[in-house]
Amino acid sequence: MKKKQFNYLPYLLISPTLFFVTMFTVWPTFLSIYQSLFKQRLNIAKYRTPSFIGLDNYFELLKDSDFINVLKNTMIYVLGTVPITIAAAFILAVLLNNKFKGSGLFRLAIFYPSILPMVSAATIWMFFFTPDYGLFNSTISFLGYTGPQNWTVNPNLALISVMIVAFWKNAGYFMIFYLAGIQNIPGTVYEAAKIDGAGPIKTMIAITIPLLRRSTLFITTIAFIGAFQAVDHIFVLTSGGPSDRSTVLLFYLWQQRFENLNVGKAATITVILIIILLFFTISNFLLSEKKEGSDD
């Protein structure tokens, strides 16, 4: 019997991707786990050489009031942007899926912010948030409110300002995925629903939303991960202030690593961030699969 020849081609094809994933994802992850077990401060001579402390970095971080406040800010940012942005993207996709005069122009206008770098988007919004002549203050002054608000410096408005920019930039991006998903739904399904007397709302709830479950899973995952990666527009708009009221997890990580030069603490924050993202991604996938299995 002739021995079957081993096929190396599939492994050769995936080797470039495997190399880059290993170099830029797997290796940095294990390096962060390793560094989180040591105390190292590059700006303090005493702690410049790494010293093994086990899990002390994790215990100290969980007792740190600044870190707890950063986690709260991050949760507010994520929960305040992801659900609203996804809901807006879905509604926009449903509306713009209908062909009407100028629909292409509306699609372009809504999608356009997503192609801008986040720094550029934040710079544009700086003019909206300007205290004296910004669009927001001009509008509320027109409505009868006196006294312009300095949105990016006000402790109660700084985080909201950052969230507004994220919503404006990401809604059009997520809309494209929903729009593509809606256009892949067979028209016969909607025709059958129309014959059965289903209205637009019932059709959307009973047909569109369930058939877009896979799209929603993908969009939710990338939206959640993207929200935890928020850092660019925070640099431009608030720099984490005032009094760290707009500091989120990744920005705090940058501060610890590159401003405070605290390698051990930064690595610990990295590991915690990875755990949060892994937990959400896996649980989101499992819940979606379980729900789909129960429907079948």
What pLDDT is stored for residue 250 in this prediction? 93
Helix (H, G, I), strand (E, B) or coil at 37: coil
CA-CA distance, 221 to 218, in Å (whole number)? 5
CA-CA distance, 213 to 219, in Å (whole number)? 10
What pLDDT is stored for residue 148 in this prediction? 63
Statement: residue 46 has pLDDT above 90: no
CA distance to 10, 13, 132, 219, per residue, from 2 (Å)? 22, 26, 83, 49
What pLDDT is stored for residue 178 in this prediction? 94
- Asked if 237 contacts 165 with a C-beta cutoff of 8 angstroms, the reply is yes
Q: How many CA atoms lie within 13 A of 29 on its CB side?
A: 12
CA-CA distance, 71 to 252, in Å (whole number)? 10
Residue owning tokens 């707009």: 246
User: Can you name the residues that pair with 39 across neighbouring β-strands?
Assistant: 51
Q: pLDDT band at residue 146, thresholds of 50, 70 and 90?
A: low
Q: Which of the two residues, 60 and 148, has the higher pLDDT score?
A: 60
What mean pLDDT is predicted for residues 23-45? 91
Q: pLDDT band at residue 185, thresholds of 50, 70 and 90?
A: confident
Helix (H, G, I), strand (E, B) or coil at 241: coil
CA-CA distance, 66 to 86, in Å (whole number)? 30
CA-CA distance, 77 to 122, in Å (whole number)? 16
Helix (H, G, I), strand (E, B) or coil at 38: strand
Statement: residue 142 has pLDDT above 60: yes
Nearest to 92 by CA among 26, 177, 190: 177
What pLDDT is stored for residue 271 in this prediction? 95
Q: pLDDT of 78-120, one tens digit each? A: 999 999 999 999 999 998 888 778 778 888 889 999 999 999 9
**All structural domains of the chain:** 65-295 (1.10.3720.10)
Q: pLDDT of 201-211, one tens digit each? A: 888 888 888 88
- The amino acid that residue 145 corresponds to is Y
What pLDDT is stored for residue 268 in this prediction? 96
Q: Which of the two residues, 214 and 5, has the higher pLDDT score?
A: 214
Helix (H, G, I), strand (E, B) or coil at 41: strand
- Asked if 219 contacts 86 with a C-beta cutoff of 8 angstroms, the reply is yes
Statement: residue 291 has pLDDT above 90: no
Structure tokens at 279: 């937990």
Mean pLDDT of the chain: 88
Share of the chain above pLDDT 90, in %: 51
Nearest to 181 by CA among 202, 201, 206, 210: 210
Q: pLDDT of 117-129, one tens digit each? A: 999 999 989 888 8
